[in-house]
Amino acid sequence: MAFFLGIDGGGTGCRAALADADGRIVGQGQGGPANINTDVEGAAVSILQATAEAVEGTGADPRDLIATLGLAGGTMAAATERLSLLLPFARVQIVNDGVTAARGALGMQDGILAAMGTGSVFAVQRGGALRQVGGRGFLMGDEGSGAVLGRALLSLAMRAEDGFAPMTPLLQDLLGELGGVEGIIRFGNTARPADFARLAPRIVAGEDPAARQVFDAAVAEVRHILTMLQADAPLPVVFVGGLGPAYAARLTDWPQRHALGSGVDGALLMARQMAGAA
């Protein structure tokens, strides 16, 4: 019996689903972070952990699976090639998690996806043609993501300590928690995107002036991206990810639609399409 594996992985964790030849989900699993732009080997460990959970008790052998992996960093050719060598699957395609998120959220319908989590990525689909933008990592992109929000807040805390920005209770708390400017620098030297993203809830749900400043700037940047993607033919927007609801509440410029499915659903659909089963 043929089995299909779909995986959705990002900076915080990854999820796997196993489907049989009829498309029925027969197993699910979870693993740790799977951002191949920052840690290919660590992502492989997470993917194999999630896969092991998904196949347990199903009789499926990972070496026989037809798999689609939607991963943060999936646009990086060297990283995808390296990851492919670390995985046992019979057939595998590795794409950016924005592609699988868009396929799951939009199906074949026209629309715009804004996936806002630890990282961020956007996609627009018209007439079945899907184009992804963004998703280039928090050092160079990932606009509005949790990692970028956290980094911006810590940068603002250091500027406030130097007297270049107003000090606020939240910034003072962060300086105390991390050990001042030097502590923030030490944190930043080793922190991964998920570590910065842990500050995001204090930003999007906070009333502190610094939190509002950082989030307002992020909302303006995401609004610009969505405006450009709308072009001359307005489309509904689907917000997904842990920060999706926070942005959806602020960006009401266009009609919004609920996602048809998840990134895992999109990955499974693409795996079945790859094998001609869907």
The pLDDT value given to residue 247:
97
The pLDDT value given to residue 215:
97
> How do residues 41-68 score in pLDDT, each as one tens digit?
999 999 999 999 999 988 889 999 999 9
Better-predicted residue by pLDDT, 265 or 140? 265
The pLDDT value given to residue 278:
59
> How do residues 194-241 score in pLDDT, each as one tens digit?
899 999 999 998 889 999 999 999 999 999 999 999 987 789 999 998
Delineate the domains of the chain, giving CATH numbers in brackets. Answer: 4-104+261-274 (3.30.420.40), 122-257 (3.30.420.40)
Is residue 11 predicted with pLDDT exceeding 80? no
Cα–chain center distance at 42: 16
Work out the average pLDDT over 92-120: 89
CA 177-120-103 angle, to 5 degrees, is: 145
Binned at pLDDT 50, 70 and 90, residue 22 comes out as: confident
Percent of the chain past pLDDT 70, that is, above it, reads 99
Average pLDDT, the chain: 91
Is residue 136 predicted with pLDDT exceeding 90? no
Is residue 92 predicted with pLDDT exceeding 80? yes
Longest dimension (CA), the chain: 66
- The region, left, alpha or beta by phi > 0 then psi within -120 to 50, assigned to residue 27 is beta
- Rounded CA gap, 234 and 10, in Å? 29
**Which helix (DSSP H) or strand (DSSP E) does residue 79 occupy?**
helix 77-86
The pLDDT value given to residue 275:
73
